[in-house]
């Protein structure tokens, strides 16, 4: 299986070129312009977008279940394990939210 080339346009110098897409850690598609070497980013693939939505929804339900009082009691407990667990839940919430916000900005740009 060969890698699929995609026709893209550089964000900086507007050069059109074909390139094999690379993926960032969060699943964004990344291209490097052969002319000016700057990087252009493209929105998430549908699979990533759906996954981030599912994680964000599950984690916000988890937050609702813990509640503000629950978070406060974890903070008051002084337990390192409980802190860690809370930190992981926060990360699991902010990473998908961050990715979805960035995705929506890139998608707006793509249709503009």
State the residues that interact with Zn ion by CB under 5 A: 10, 12-13, 15, 33, 35-36
Nearer to Zn ion, 18 or 104 (CB): 18
What is d(CA 5, CA 21) in angstroms, rounded to the nearest whole number? 7
Strand, helix or coil for residue 63: helix
Q: Which residues contact 11 (CB under 8 A, 6 or more apart)?
A: 38, 40, 41
Q: How far is the CB of 29 from Zn ion (least distance, A)?
A: 16
Residue closer to Zn ion by CB (options 9, 64) is 9
CB closer to Zn ion, 15 vs 95: 15
């Amino acid at each position: 299986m060969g890698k699929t080339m995609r026709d893209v346009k550089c964000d900086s110098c507007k050069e059109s070129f074909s390139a094999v897409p690379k993926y960032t850690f969060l699943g964004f598609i990344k291209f490097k312009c052969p002319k000016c070497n700057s990087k252009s980013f493209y929105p998430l693939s549908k699979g990533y977008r759906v996954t981030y939505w599912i994680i964000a929804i599950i984690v916000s339900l988890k937050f609702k279940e813990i509640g503000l009082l629950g978070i406060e009691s974890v903070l008051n407990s002084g337990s390192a394990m409980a802190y860690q667990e809370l930190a992981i839940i926060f990360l699991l919430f902010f990473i998908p939210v961050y990715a979805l916000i960035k995705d929506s900005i890139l998608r707006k740009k793509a249709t503009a």
